A and B are shown apart, each in its own frame.
Chain A
């Protein structure tokens, strides 16, 4: 019980201290850009009504999910093919290295040419930015399947789809998840940016509107919402990862205990 309380203290102490510091330091702030935390918090419920959540947060989250899902499926599928054949890999590698190196946000002007400024544009932007880390990590993971495991599978007649499902993708999954994690932060960036560029709703759009209208406390609440969204998505990701990669963390821990 005392151990639990101690751990709880460790978890909440610093955040509470920092919040307190912010509160006190900003309390009599007259700087228009740094409004008191009190003002930000009292503004929060007025700005983020359920109406606004439905009109701005929901579309953003939907675009993000759609783009991310497309990137995940395409990245894993293409990455598996490329990773499975040495020659295909050698053929594609320089091109992929180049495409991966393009900072994703500069694709927004290009994709706007093709897809206009609607949801298709935003989903395409998110997908085309997220796909590279997923794809390249999948290639690496698939390529690095342990030769003994590959031979075991072969000697027991585990081939084709069963091999892909039970051996290749499972063995590559730690790498694939590393790619998915990188892609998640890119997805959020692209969601916000694409909405700042051209949109009539969404989180990025709303926050920029507040900034342009000098509604500074409202803008601050928007930054908080984005922060909370990023945090929430990362928590969800960790929950999924812990479930899917439970074996991997156990394996690493046991390897650490007995090297």
Chain B
């Protein structure tokens, strides 16, 4: 059976005023239904470009993205995007509830159904009381919760998150990571999560794809064999967590230096000869 999201041979070249920049070279990976996959790579490695191509916001130069077997040519209705710039992604002229509701109106859902979805989504991010507030009246972390609620209410097949917590403080960030992890476990949604933070990728993901520096290819695919039950206090001090993060860290440092991956990038690599899950 096909994967939910299938990215094959993705290539993106920016051309303009005589310059030609290859942002993404050749990217192939899949995301199964119900998975939480993290993409991690050095800063400036074209992660955002890649995610925008996946989300249909940018047209790839070559290669193809399919969602549930249908090729993506524009933003598909089955995807919801959470941007890093929460402050600019929520509409400041609408109250929180209206921000969450607007995409649903566009979907043509009935008023009562919209109300249910909005209430449910806001409750699940812990903002049941904030529907009447304006986004700019909330803190940064709360605004990003609203953006997540908007994505949840949209009932997407897959949730794309582009460095969503890069602009919030460390404590808020930990809370939001646990929120995403919790929502994923409760609701069984599929998440593709892009980050430059190695700890975050290892803490959140079931699988981590390590990207090379620009132009981007997948350098390594890593299965995170940490227990499903994770928490900030214990998981982050577990020896296995340290091993995994050290491994990813080394890979990223190597990617920054431009050293080629030790093995062909499309094979599944494991750390210290642990059993390998071929997916």
Q: Do A and B touch each other in the complex, judged by CB within 8 A?
A: yes
Residues of A that sit less than 8 Å from B by CB: 146, 148-149, 151-152, 154-159, 162, 166-167, 170-171, 173, 247-248, 250-251, 254-255
Q: Which residues of chain B from 87 to 106 have any CB-CB distance to chain A below 8 Å in the complex?
A: 88-89, 91-94, 102-103, 105-106
Of the A-B pairs whose beta carbons lie under 8 Å apart in the complex, a sample of 24, sorted by A's number, is A149-B91, A152-B81, A152-B83, A154-B57, A154-B75, A155-B57, A156-B81, A156-B103, A156-B106, A156-B154, A157-B107, A158-B102, A159-B106, A166-B91, A166-B102, A167-B91, A170-B91, A171-B93, A247-B94, A248-B92, A250-B134, A251-B92, A251-B136, A255-B136
Q: Does B85 contact A (CB under 8 A)?
A: yes
Task: List A contacts of B106 (CB < 8 A).
Answer: 156-159, 162
B165–chain A nearest beta-carbon distance, Å: 16
Q: What string of 1s and 0s marks CB contacts (under 8 Å) between B106-137 and chain A?
A: 11000000000000000000000000001011
Task: List B contacts of A255 (CB < 8 A).
Answer: 136
- A-B interface pairs (CB < 8 A), number: 71
Residues A148 and B92 in contact, CB atoms below 8 Å apart: no
Q: Given that A156-B102, A251-B92 are known contacts, is A151 also in contact with B57, CB under 8 Å in the complex?
A: yes
Cα distance A156–B83 in the bound complex, in angstroms: 12
Further 7 A-B residue pairs, CB within 8 A, beyond A151-B57, A154-B57: A154-B74, A155-B55, A156-B75, A157-B106, A162-B106, A247-B134, A251-B134
B interface residue count range (under 10 / 10 to 19 / 20 to 34 / 35 or more): 20 to 34
Cα distance A251–B90 in the bound complex, in angstroms: 12
Residue in B75, B94, B105 whose CB lies within 8 Å of A155: B75
Residues A155 and B80 in contact, CB atoms below 8 Å apart: yes
Residues B93 and A170 in contact, CB atoms below 8 Å apart: yes
A161–chain B nearest beta-carbon distance, Å: 10
Q: Does B77 contact A (CB under 8 A)?
A: yes
B10–chain A nearest beta-carbon distance, Å: 18
Q: Does B79 contact A (CB under 8 A)?
A: yes
Cα distance A171–B91 in the bound complex, in angstroms: 8
Q: Given that A155-B79, A156-B154 are known contacts, is A250 also in contact with B105, CB under 8 Å in the complex?
A: no
Task: List A contacts of B93 (CB < 8 A).
Answer: 170-171, 173, 247-248
Task: List B contacts of A151 (CB < 8 A).
Answer: 52, 57, 81, 83
Task: List A contacts of B57 (CB < 8 A).
Answer: 151, 154-155
Task: List A contacts of B83 (CB < 8 A).
Answer: 148, 151-152
Q: Given that A157-B77, A250-B136, A250-B137 are known contacts, is A148 also in contact with B89, CB under 8 Å in the complex?
A: yes
Cα distance A255–B94 in the bound complex, in angstroms: 17
Cα distance A27–B277 in the bound complex, in angstroms: 100
Task: List B contacts of A251 (CB < 8 A).
Answer: 92, 134, 136
Cα distance A162–B57 in the bound complex, in angstroms: 18
In the complex formed, the residue of A with least CB distance to B90 is: A152
Cα distance A8–B77 in the bound complex, in angstroms: 57
Cα distance A171–B88 in the bound complex, in angstroms: 11
Cα distance A170–B57 in the bound complex, in angstroms: 22
Residues B137 and A149 in contact, CB atoms below 8 Å apart: no
A245–chain B nearest beta-carbon distance, Å: 9
Q: What string of 1s and 0s marks CB contacts (under 8 Å) between B132-172 and chain A?
A: 00101100000000000010001000000000000000000
Residues B154 and A152 in contact, CB atoms below 8 Å apart: no
Q: Given that A166-B102, A247-B134, A254-B137 are known contacts, is A155 also in contact with B81, CB under 8 Å in the complex?
A: yes
Task: List B contacts of A166 (CB < 8 A).
Answer: 91, 94, 102
Cα distance A112–B274 in the bound complex, in angstroms: 90
Q: What string of 1s and 0s marks CB contacts (under 8 Å) between B62-81 and chain A?
A: 00000000000011010111
B262–chain A nearest beta-carbon distance, Å: 37
Task: List B contacts of A148 (CB < 8 A).
Answer: 83, 85, 88-89
B138–chain A nearest beta-carbon distance, Å: 9
A57–chain B nearest beta-carbon distance, Å: 36
Residues A158 and B103 in contact, CB atoms below 8 Å apart: yes
Cα distance A146–B85 in the bound complex, in angstroms: 11
Cα distance A166–B150 in the bound complex, in angstroms: 16
Task: List B contacts of A167 (CB < 8 A).
Answer: 91
Task: List A contacts of B103 (CB < 8 A).
Answer: 156-158
Task: List A contacts of B77 (CB < 8 A).
Answer: 157
A19–chain B nearest beta-carbon distance, Å: 41
Residues A149 and B75 in contact, CB atoms below 8 Å apart: no
Q: Given that A166-B91, A167-B91, A170-B91 are known contacts, is A157 also in contact with B75, CB under 8 Å in the complex?
A: yes
Shortest beta-carbon contacts, A-B, top 8: A156-B103, A148-B88, A155-B81, A247-B93, A155-B75, A170-B93, A254-B136, A251-B136
